[in-house]
A = this chain, B = another copy of it.
């Protein structure tokens, strides 16, 4: 048993899309979430910048005594999962790409045609393609960066014509020309526009890494006897900018859940002494 919290982090509010799946599968667990809303979006930034920000945040989570770090961000997972695992050998560090790639390999036959969408950094890293190729070399995998999705979602522009037009701008040719039947939402923000995507491409099978990562978390905690039981900790949501959008999004995501949450503003740049 280990009643310490699980540390989640993302460039902004995207990583929040993992939380309902976690609370459904592992209701005893408590979390500390950090969203870097003051510096979002990450997905078009230099890898050195992203690495620097991620180290700062992971240090903060470890200082707050988390039992596990979950990188609830595809961009960060694609470029510095190993760096973070090396920096914190004493606690498990889980990335979001491997669980989703495993799901693709396990659930797709050779005839399937899989598309990956994500930020520029994630797509350029080819992290998904590489992992899927290792697991199932026969599979055809295509990928497409969609850099406008995250900033629009962070601005709360989700249910309207601009988002619909942006979806069709990125996906019409990509889905149709490659005759895709499976689409991986390779960014934790994208589940927030999943229903909009499904309206245009109702036959696509969607793979959601924010859901798949929960199996990995459960497996690791179970294997290491680290599951929580009656933890008295609270769920805490930190944001480097406690903006209206962040608060609204937490409300949207948790509106159907009975969950005590605490919000805190955190000046991440000054957490290291």
Contact = CB atoms under 8 A, between A and B. Distances in A.
Contact of A162 (B45, B154, B166, B242): B166
A119 to B, nearest CB: 10
A265 B242 CA distance: 27
Contacts of A156: 147
A261 B241 CA distance: 33
A26 to B, nearest CB: 32
Copies of this protein chain in the complex: 2
Interface string A145-167: 00110011011110011100110
Contacts of A147: 155-157
Query: Range of interface residues on chain A?
Result: 20 to 34
B155 A151 contact: yes
A265 B52 CA distance: 13
Nearest to A170: B162
B162 A155 contact: no
A162 B157 CA distance: 13
A203 interface: no
Given A38-B39, A148-B155, A154-B151, A241 B49 contact: yes
A44 B161 contact: no
A240 interface: yes
A151 B41 contact: yes
A259 interface: no
Contacts of A242: 46
Contacts of A52: 267
Contacts of A263: none
A147 B49 CA distance: 24
Contacts of A161: 165, 169
Interface of A: 37-39, 41, 44-46, 48-49, 52-53, 147-148, 151-152, 154-157, 160-162, 165-166, 169, 240-245, 265, 267, 269
